Each structure stands twice: as structure tokens, then as C-alpha cells.
Chain A
Amino acid sequence: MKFLNILNRLYDEEILCKLDFLKGIRLFEGIRKRQLIHVLESLQERTYLKGETIFTQGDIGRALFIVFGGKIALARVDQATQKSEIIAEVHPGEFFGEMALLEEMPRTATAYAMEDTKVFMLFKIKMESLLYARPAIGVTLAAQLAKIMSARLRAMIEKPQVE
């Protein structure tokens, strides 16, 4: 019993929670749990307070954001009316900003925290390191990214046109 207590004190339960969380992210589907450790090594954690801006429309994107806890709003400025309207809300387990992993292009929307939010950030340079250092993980990640982009494009094309 004492030995188990010592082991419990040594072991960080939070890491297990994070690995379980990453297992449920669509982007990491197909990556084995023990390989997710390498993905976790490449992720950067950050907490944004309620109301803080993550990025603004037009900023050059450099990272993908995975929401671990909290809620993020994505808003776009309408060119005609110059008014900002929320186009999506991102909940825990979802991600946004994936275009930054492919091209360092201006963001197409503004993201801000609707409540205190903890995110994981995957930078393009870290993903490239994964691609070279761990090709098995990198290839799976790239394939999943392509599938997600394809699904989003299909949804956009099949979306009924607004009169």
C-alpha cells in the first residue's frame, strides 16, 4: 500500500488525462497511444482568460489550436457592413486554425476566448519536426489533416446557397 502511495505521488495523473484527451481528437485518429507521447511533446500549452484574443482576422497563422477546456468563438468581419459576427464556437475536443499547418497565410477569422480556456498549440515547425523525426506519426497526421480539409471543403460546396 505504501509502495502504491509512493508510485501515485511520483506519477502525474494529468499526463494520462491529456493523453486520453488527445486520443479523442479527430486529427490524431490512427496514432497509437504510446506514440501520442511524442505528439504531446510537440504541443505547447496555454491558458487564455475570458475575453482575450487568440488571433485577429488578417494575422499570419502559425499554429493549430486544440481546445482542452473552455470555449472559443470564431468571428468574422463582414466586408459590406463592417460588423463582426460569430461564425462558430469551438468546444473542448475540437480544434481550429489548421490552415496554419499548411500555409503561413492570414487568418480568415478572429478567435477569442468566451471563458477561461486552456488550449494546446501545434506549431507548423513542430509538425515538420514530427514529419521528419517520426514519419509514422507525421504521415498519419498529414493524412488526417487532408481528410478534415476535404470534409470541410465538401461541406462548403454542398452548403445551400443563401439568396
Chain B
Amino acid sequence: MATDTQTKKNYTQFLLPAFIGVALVYFVVLAKAAIFPFILSAALAYILSPVIKYFEVRGIKRTFAVAGLYIGAGALVFMVVYLLFHFLSFEIESLQQSWPEYAKRMQEFVVRNNDKLVKNYPFMASLRLETKLDHLLEAAPQFLLGLLPALSLLFIVPFITFFMLIGGTSIIDYLINHLPSRYAELILHIASRIDASLGNYLRGILTESFILFLIAFTGLLIMNLDYAAVIAILIGISSLVPYLGAIVGAVVSSIVAYLQFGALMPIIKILAFFTGLRFFDDWFLQPYIMKKAVKLNPAIILLALMAGLEIGGFWGVLFSIPVTCIIKEILQIAVELQETEFRWKPKPEPTRISIPYT
């Protein structure tokens, strides 16, 4: 009888946490649009937290460190945005004026080559390349206009991030303090492992993206390509996704080069430049910057990117690799725990040496 009561108590203690967990997941699924800025803010707070910690351990109180970072970074961001707009404003205005001409030339190019292809390979007619291009050219300006609401995130996310940085790890500390104390070491160990791999990866990829943006911007300026700033920014953002940066840059730059120069040589130069950039990234940047980051098999990276695209579109692709890092680390820890804590494998033997200590 006493054993039954004890067993019931053992199960009932998990009822409330399980109920809260399920309710939380349900809320997140229902209100995902409202939750999304908080997820971005948490990611930004996580990326900025080492900067705050740097000042904290040197004696600056957290509140002042965060305020100082925002004032300093705000001034820097304002300068960067101002300079970028200085470059971008001419390019965007010029693109706006030239777009009808470019659209017409692209259509002529596709029509001319489509006719040749259909003549030699009749099955190509079923692809309807002309119709698809018309849809694409109509959709492109609408797609760009559709990005405007996302610009509101530029204001909401830093605002939420400010308060997350001020709070620090207080929420996580609160949760750990209210779990059995014996497991605090294990939970903090798991958090340290995830922090080590994810933190290294995020900082590495951001550094890599920034360096690729700078190199691409310089290279395209030297080659006198129009819209160098826009293309460089696009390369920087797409470099956040592995393998994508140089490919996007090569494709977009080649199209712009064809429209600008109308000859083959500039396209070859651009392709050679991006091939060189890709090699530089693979052989120098990644080994140096990403050496401490978690190593993922290219097949796993591809799976993660495709799953991310399926689940969350653009943002899903952007977050797919960091989430995969976390999942990989958790799986590794779970397997280790099964082997050590739950004795799936024999108890680990300590190092034994027969020669006595002298």
C-alpha cells in the first residue's frame, strides 16, 4: 500500500511540469508570428552576450555595459547604414530606372535562346521558359515590396534584445534553481557543451560572412560592376548559409555583368573571381575561423538546409545550421548519458598503473 502511494507520488510530481510544457508548446504554435521576434532577439542577445561578459568581468556593471554597447553600437550602425545608403541610394535609384530595360533584355535573351533550344530539342517547349520568366519578372518587384514589413523587425528586435541582455541568464538560473540541486551540475555541463559548439559556430560564421562581404565589395568595385554594394550585401547575407554565398554572388553578378557589358569576357572574369573566393573561403577562412566550431557532415548540412526551407522558408534556412548544432550536441550528450548514467555500457574504469607513486 505504502509502495503504491510512493509510486503514485513519483509519477504525479511530473504532471504539472509536463502540463506546463505542453501548454507552452501549444502557445508557441498558436502565436508563432508573435513569438518570432523574441526568437530573433534571443539569438541576437546570445551573439552579443560575450561582449557584455567581456565588460562585466572587467568590473563594469551589466546595466551600464549593455547601455554602453547600445550607444556605441548604435553610433557605429548609424554610420555604417548612412555610408551604405550613400552607396545604395544611387544604385537603387539607377536599378529602378533601368529595370524595365533590363527586364526587356532578359526576355529577349531567353526568347532567342529558347527558340534555338526548342528547334533542336522539341521537348523543351513543355518547360515554357518564356512564361516562367514573365512570372519571375512580374513577381520580383512584388517580392521586394513584400520584404518591407520585415523591416519593422529592425526596430522591434533590438528593443527586446536590450531587455534580454539586461536580464542576462536570470530566467535560466531561476529554472535551474528550482530543479533538484543534484542535477544542476549536469544541466550546466550540457549548457556549456552547447554554448561551446554553437557559440563558436555563430561567431565564426558571422566573421566569415563579414569578410566575404568586404572581399566581394572590393572585387566588384575594382571590376567596375554596377550595384556592387547590393550584390556584396546579398553575398554577405547568403554566406550565413553554408555554400550559398559564392554561388549567389556568381549567379547575380554574372546576370548584372551581362546586362551591363553585353559581352562574355566580364562574365568569365566574374566567375573566375568567385571561384577564387570560394577556394579562399574553403582553404583559408573556414579552417582558421571555424576550427573550433562543430563539424557537420556536408550531407547533414544539406538535410538541415532542406528541412529548414520546408519548415520555415528563408528564416528556416538561416536558423537550420545553428539548430542542427544544438541537436547534434544534445544527441551526443544523450548517448553519453545513456552509457554512463544509465549504464548501457560497463562502468568506466579509471586509469590504473601498476608502478607505485615514488
Contact = CB atoms under 8 A, between A and B. Distances in A.
Q: Which of B61, B181, B340, B351 has the most CB of A within 10 A?
A: B181
Contact of B192 (A37, A125, A132): A125
Nearest to B62: A12
Given A10-B64, A54-B182, A105 B350 contact: yes
A77 interface: no
A73 interface: no
A121 B59 contact: no
B182 A121 contact: no
A12 B185 contact: no
A129 to B, nearest CB: 6
B188 A63 contact: yes
A96 to B, nearest CB: 12
A115 interface: no
A15 B58 CA distance: 7
A60 to B, nearest CB: 5
A125 B193 contact: yes
B357 A153 contact: yes
Contacts, number: 77
B56 interface: yes
A135 interface: no
Given A60-B340, A60-B341, A121 B185 contact: yes
Interface string A52-65: 11111001101100
Interface in A1-19: 9-12, 15-16
Contacts of B60: 10-12
Interface string A102-137: 011110000000000000010101100100100000
Contacts of B177: 47
Given A104-B340, A105-B348, A12 B357 contact: no
Contact of A123 (B56, B188, B340): B188
Interface string B301-321: 000000000000000000000
Contact of A41 (B57, B182, B186, B292): B57
Contacts of A62: 185-186, 189
Contacts of A47: 177
Interface string A74-108: 00000000000000000000000000000111100
Contact of A125 (B59, B64, B189): B189
20 contacts: A11-B60, A11-B61, A12-B61, A15-B57, A15-B58, A41-B54, A48-B181, A52-B181, A53-B182, A54-B184, A56-B182, A59-B182, A62-B189, A63-B188, A103-B350, A106-B348, A132-B292, A150-B357, A157-B356, A157-B357
Interface of A: 9-12, 15-16, 37, 40-41, 44, 46-49, 52-56, 59-60, 62-63, 103-106, 121, 123, 125-126, 129, 132, 150, 153-154, 157
